[in-house]
Amino acid sequence: MVSKEASEKNSPLTPDPWPLIPDPSLVLPMPSIRRLPQSLVNKIAAGEVVERPASVVKELMENAVDAGAKRIDVSVEKGGTELIRVVDTGCGIAADELELAVASHATSKLASTDDLFSIATLGFRGEALPSLAEVSRLTIRSRTAENDSGAEIEVVGGQLSPVTPCGCPVGTAVEVRNLFFNTPVRRKFLRTSQTEFGHVSEAFTRIALAWPEIHFTLRHNDRPVFELPGPEGWLERIAQLLGRELADNLIWVESTDGEVRLAGYVANPSYSRSNSRLQYLFLNGRPIRDRSLMHALGEAYRGLLVTGRYPIALLTLEMPPELVDVNVHPTKLEVRFRDSGRLYSQLLSALRTKFLATDLTARVPSVQEDPSGAHDESRATQLRQELVDWAKGEVASWPSRGRPDSEPSRQAALSAGSSSARESPLELTQLGRKWAPATGGEEEERDEPPDAIPDGPETAYSTDRGPHVATANWPRALQVHDRYLITETEDGVMVVDQHALHERVLYEQLRERTASGAMETQSLLVPEPVDLAPVEAAAALEHQDLLAELGMKIEPFGGDTVLIAGYPAMLANMNPVDVLHTLLEQLLSGGKEPDRRDLLDGLLHAIACKAAIKAGDRLAPEEINALLEQSHLVDEAHHCPHGRPAAVIFTREELDKQFKRI
Ligand code: ADP
Ligand code: MG
């Protein structure tokens, strides 16, 4: 109930409701400033440095590298939430320095202020061990070469136990148990052990890529995950961590500008990703992220990749430590270059020069690789020629017709699901069916791509322009630039974006099927094993049920390999491995905790986008007609699922106005 005084306060008759001098009884007492206890300071620091098990792995591996270890063994249990152990063969820590090692702001890596501006080690803040010690049960066992025996220290939630002697080899073993056991809120934020392990594996990969001469191993739940012997070279290390196929398709680049040396590998344009995860940048052995350099990379590939695809790169930068400030980020992931503009140009011109000198021709996917066989030899030759032209700088950007990226062809997309059509007719196959001559073709002909693909837009143009002439052989719309369809409507002209419309049609159909639980699975006679990156494998298994809802049946197969047992029947014409990769890229691109509906929706978008015909695909008259007819099946044909318009209408009246008829 509102008291009388309170209601009076709000009445317009009361004096100024915001008096300049507040009622003294309402002012909060002045808080006194206190120095925080060290353990609270450490906990706050831990919040910055230790986000999840992967951050622990990163810090401990960096310490081992700084200690000059030739071999570093990492093992984790339950994604690192139970145990993280990093054992190295480095210089070790003397018994009388063990306590100091876990004290905050204690480091052996900086001696004076000047050192801060020429940092040659990975660590220097002296924050990692004390932060870890505060939020876990930490044990360090270490021995230096000068000592016959080692020493051990244990810190539980910041509480030190006395240093005790122990027997151990030269080097250091650090164990972190029960991470966040004393900060339950943080512990709650940890995801499943598979997801956490995915991140651990990613952190491990970054450091193992940066230091190819060090022998690294990674074990999860006592099972070996990576065994990376030292002397095999960088390319071999890349192959072991990121896959042989990628490693076989890398192009070496290098350039020197003054004291800055840039060297590494970039993937040829037929290998790309839908996110920038495979862009590794190492600065003097430190894995970093740098927006400006990633942008330069994207620029270098401009025209070689379709929009939404990101290049793959592993680049090392070596420069005197004075030319860069690494002390700008708590986990040192971002740095500040003294002359970032010059570095940007160096990277861009190194790549451009390399692309000019490289015969990229052979790298365009060949006709044989096209599962549908829809491209003919001359188209492939033309595609290659265009790529070579680009590389020579003769064309500024990729012409709409040539796509270096090997998306499944429109034939596969338009007839998505048609191979399973006989057993289970699906709406989606209607597009395929419309290809059959209007006179009524036989079943067998339905899966055949139309054999007469017109040579150019001119031939796709009907001489009888009336939309009422709807024979299968004459298009009901004019295709221009291989991407828009122009058609007459009752009161004007409609311009359709062929990709956007087809994407919308597929999306609606997919959504309807999943909503009614009717996504059919095409079982594979022999389940197909797929090697994935650790994070991908983790995401795939974590979302097994969701994927099954979409008809994608996967099973664990040990390590980072999963088995595809079945995949959406609607996408029967697409390669199941491709479909899985698309879904995983979508899963991994989501925010931290997307809800199930958003996730599912994202996956549907991804499938629809992948399966839809693309801008740049030339359509046969039958395909144009089929697509336009399908547009009436969906409610929102005027927008693609991303919200871009799928069709724009110019009314006759507008045209008349433009032409000053009215
Ligand atoms: P920083 O790495 O920033 O110096 P840390 O808290 O990670 O801070 O480590 C504190 C100190 O402990 C290091 O400076 C180093 O002297 C010592 N140390 C930590 N890990 C190791 C290791 N694996 N081998 C040898 N010394 C280590
Ligand atoms: Mg450190």
Q: What is the reported pLDDT for 620?
A: 83
Choice from 58, 85, 127, 129 to test ligand 1 binding pocket (greatest atom count within 8 A of CB) = 129
H or E segment to which residue 530 belongs = strand 521-531
Q: Ligand 2 mean position to 119 CA, how many Å? A: 13
88 lines ligand 1 (CB under 6 A): yes
616 lines ligand 1 (CB under 6 A): no
Q: Ligand 1 mean position to 15 CA, how many Å? A: 65
| DSSP states along 169-182 | -SEEEEEEESTTTT
126 lines ligand 1 (CB under 6 A): yes
Residue 335 has which token pair? Answer: 């740095």
Residue 23 has which token pair? Answer: 């009622």
Summarised one tens digit per residue, pLDDT across range 108-153 is: 887 777 777 777 888 888 889 999 999 999 999 999 999 999 999 9
Q: Ligand 1 mean position to 313 CA, how many Å? A: 31
Q: What is the reported pLDDT for 163?
A: 97
42 lines ligand 1 (CB under 6 A): no
Q: Which atom of ligand 1 is nearest to the CA of 110?
A: 4
Question: The dihedral of CA 155, 159, 160, 166: what is its sign?
Answer: negative
625 lines ligand 1 (CB under 6 A): no
The protein residue with its alpha carbon nearest to ligand 1, atom 7, reads 128
Distance CA 575, CA 406 (A): 12
Residue with the bigger pLDDT between 436 and 45: it is: 45
Q: Ligand 1 mean position to 114 CA, how many Å? A: 20
Whole-number percent of the chain with pLDDT over 90: 33
Q: What is the reported pLDDT for 184?
A: 85
- 427 — pLDDT class (breaks 50, 70, 90): very low
H or E segment to which residue 386 belongs = helix 377-391
For residues 102 and 140, is the Cβ–Cβ distance under 8 A?
Answer: yes
Q: Exposed, middle or buried: residue 415 (CB in 10 Å: 0-12, 13-18, 19+)?
A: buried
Distance CA 179, CA 185 (A): 12
Which residue bears the tokens 């110019």?
A: 650
134 lines ligand 1 (CB under 6 A): no
Distance CA 402, CA 395 (A): 12
Average pLDDT over residues 208-227: 95
Do you know the residue count of the chain? 662
Average pLDDT over residues 83-107: 94
Q: What is the reported pLDDT for 557?
A: 84
Q: What is the reported pLDDT for 639?
A: 58
Distance CA 297, CA 135 (A): 39
* 436 contact partners, CB below 8 Å, separation of at least 6: 445, 446, 472
Residue with the bigger pLDDT between 546 and 59: it is: 59
Choice from 85, 107, 214 to test ligand 1 binding pocket (greatest atom count within 8 A of CB) = 107
Q: Please tell me the least confidently modeled range out of 185-194, 495-504, 596-605.
A: 596-605
Pick from 265, 239, 270: which is nearest to 252 by CA? 265
Question: The dihedral of CA 280, 283, 285, 287: what is its sign?
Answer: negative
The protein residue with its alpha carbon nearest to ligand 1, atom 25, reads 92
Q: Ligand 1 mean position to 435 CA, how many Å? A: 69
Q: 308: left (phi > 0), else alpha (psi -120 to 50), else beta?
A: left
Task: Identify the DSSP state of 500.
Answer: H
Pick from 627, 616, 645: which is nearest to 307 by CA? 616
124 lines ligand 1 (CB under 6 A): yes
Task: Identify the DSSP state of 648.
Answer: E
Strand-pair partners of 165 = 151
Average pLDDT over residues 388-404: 35
Summarised one tens digit per residue, pLDDT across range 506-526 is: 888 888 888 887 778 878 777
Pick from 184, 187, 190, 174: which is nearest to 133 by CA? 174
- 366 — pLDDT class (breaks 50, 70, 90): very low
Residue with the bigger pLDDT between 533 and 317: it is: 317
Contacts by 215-219 with C-beta closer than 8 Å and gap 24+? 215/70, 215/71, 215/72, 216/71, 216/72, 216/73, 216/74, 217/72, 217/73, 217/74, 217/75, 218/74, 218/75, 218/76, 219/73, 219/74, 219/75, 219/76
Whole-number percent of the chain with pLDDT over 70: 75
Predicted model pTM:
0.60
For residues 228 and 235, is the Cβ–Cβ distance under 8 A?
Answer: no
The protein residue with its alpha carbon nearest to ligand 1, atom 23, reads 64
Q: Ligand 2 mean position to 262 CA, how many Å? A: 26
Q: What is the reported pLDDT for 533?
A: 87
User: Mean pLDDT across the chain, nearest whole number?
Assistant: 76
Distances (CA, A) of 654 to 541, 649, 650: 55, 10, 6
Residue with the bigger pLDDT between 490 and 471: it is: 490
For residues 606 and 582, is the Cβ–Cβ distance under 8 A?
Answer: yes
For residues 335 and 325, is the Cβ–Cβ distance under 8 A?
Answer: yes
- 583 — pLDDT class (breaks 50, 70, 90): confident
Q: Ligand 2 mean position to 331 CA, how many Å? A: 10
- 25 — pLDDT class (breaks 50, 70, 90): low
Distance CA 131, CA 126 (A): 9
